[in-house]
Chain A
Amino acid sequence: MLTVLALASVVLLGIDPSQAIVIYTGWERHALLGSDVRLSCSFFSWRWTSDDVTFSWTYRPDGSKDSISIFHYTGGMAYVDNKGPFRDRLEFVGNPGRRDGSILLKNLDFSDNGTFTCDAKNPPDIVGRPQSSPLRRVPIQAGVITGAIIGVVLGLLVLIVVIYYLMRFLVARRVFSLSVSKHGKKKKEGSQQRQGPAPPADPSKVKAAASEKKKQESRKDKK
Chain B
Amino acid sequence: MLLILLGVLLLHLIILILLIVSTAASAWSVGEGRNTDLWYSCLTSKDGYHYRSNELNWIQAVQALMILSVLFCFFSLIAFLFQLFKLVKGGRFFFTAIFQVFASVFVMCAAIIYTVMSPDDSAHTQFGYAYVLAWVAFPLTLISGLIYIILRKKD
A and B interact physically: yes
Q: Which of B44-76 contact A (CB under 8 A)?
A: 45-46, 52-57, 60-61, 63-65, 67-68, 71
Of A85-93, A117-125, A144-152, the one with at least 4 CB within 8 A of chain B: A144-152
Residues of B close to A148: CB separation below 8 A: 64
Partner of A27, one of B43, B53, B68: B43
Proximity bits, B7-31, A CB within 8 Å = 1, else 0: 0000000000000000000000000
How many residues on chain B are close to A (CB under 8 Å)? 18
A150 and B68 within 8 A (CB): yes
B55 and A146 within 8 A (CB): no
A142 and B60 within 8 A (CB): yes
Name the interface size band of chain A: 20 to 34
A24 at the interface (CB under 8 A from B): yes
- Interface of A, secondary structure class, is helix
For B53, give the chain A residue with the smallest CB separation: A142
Residues of A close to B64: CB separation below 8 A: 145-150, 153
Partner of A3, one of B46, B54, B60: B46
A141 at the interface (CB under 8 A from B): yes
A150 CB, nearest partner CB in chain B, Å: 5
B117 CB, nearest partner CB in chain A, Å: 14
Partner of A138, one of B46, B55, B71: B55
Known: A24-B45, A150-B67, A150-B68. A140 touches B57 (CB 8 A): yes
Partner of A149, one of B41, B56, B65: B65
State the 9 A-B residue pairs at the shortest beta-carbon distance, nearest first: A149-B64, A145-B60, A30-B55, A142-B55, A146-B64, A146-B60, A146-B63, A2-B46, A150-B64
Residues of A within 8 A of B (CB): 1-3, 24, 27, 30, 138, 140-150, 153-154
11 residue pairs A–B, Cβ–Cβ below 8 Å: A3-B46, A27-B52, A140-B57, A141-B55, A142-B54, A142-B55, A149-B64, A150-B64, A150-B67, A150-B71, A153-B64
